[in-house]
């Protein structure tokens, strides 16, 4: 469980209510779901998908949820967590819970899975406690699909 878990549970419930059959095959950043019917259902339930993209302060660090969506039937085989100075393309690997090579930053923990029959997400929290250096973070999820299926990159 991490700081995004409660909001992700609302997202999973909204995805079930929205009943978008193609969603079970979707793969990509959760931000691509903002304009979809799922966001409308979350608003109707009193939730806000936008909260999942909002940085917040915790224990002196600026924290940001990092959330990826994979097809429900995928066999997830691994993750790669990466961080870089803002504005650069030189990303370095990070170990969950350990300080990243760029310094003064870390991923709070190993990515956490949330799923139901409609959607499957993995999330972690990126923390930057530098007072004068912005960071960017990435999470890459490696998976296989059964029978040569291909993921949907757009809904």
Taking only the tens place, the pLDDT of each residue in 32-70 is 765 565 666 555 655 555 566 667 788 788 888 898 889
Comparing 50 with 79, the larger pLDDT belongs to 79
The answer to whether residue 154 is domain-embedded is no
For the segment 66-78, the average pLDDT, to the nearest whole number, is 92
Cα distance between residue 81 and residue 70, in whole Å? 16
Nearest to 69 by CA among 149, 136, 148, 139: 139
pLDDT one-digit tens code per residue, 12-27: 766 666 666 677 788 8
The answer to whether residue 49 is domain-embedded is yes
The answer to whether residue 58 is domain-embedded is yes
The count of structural domains within the chain is 1
Full residue range of the structural domain in which residue 95 is found: 5-145
The answer to whether residue 150 is domain-embedded is no
Cα distance between residue 132 and residue 6, in whole Å? 31
pLDDT the model gives residue 72: 92
The answer to whether residue 153 is domain-embedded is no
pLDDT the model gives residue 19: 61
The answer to whether residue 134 is domain-embedded is yes
The answer to whether residue 113 is domain-embedded is yes
52 forms bridges with which residues in the sheet? Answer: none
The answer to whether residue 45 is domain-embedded is yes
CATH number reported for the structural domain that contains residue 136 in this entry = 2.60.40
Cα distance between residue 97 and residue 68, in whole Å? 19
């Amino acid at each position: 469980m991490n700081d995004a878990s409660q909001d992700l549970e609302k997202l999973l419930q909204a995805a079930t209510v929205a009943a978008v059959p193609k969603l079970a095959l979707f793969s990509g950043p959760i931000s691509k779901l903002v304009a979809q019917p799922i966001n409308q259902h979350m608003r109707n339930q009193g939730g806000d998908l936008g909260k999942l993209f909002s940085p917040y302060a915790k224990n002196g660090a600026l924290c940001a949820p990092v959330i990826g969506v994979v097809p429900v039937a995928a066999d997830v085989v691994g993750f790669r967590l990466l961080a870089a100075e803002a504005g650069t393309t030189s990303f370095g690997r990070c170990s969950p819970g350990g300080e990243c090579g760029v310094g003064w930053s870390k991923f709070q923990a190993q990515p956490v899975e949330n799923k139901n029959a409609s959607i499957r997400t993995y999330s972690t929290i990126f923390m930057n406690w530098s007072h004068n250096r912005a960071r960017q973070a990435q999470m890459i999820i490696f998976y296989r699909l059964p029978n040569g299926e291909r993921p949907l990159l757009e809904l």
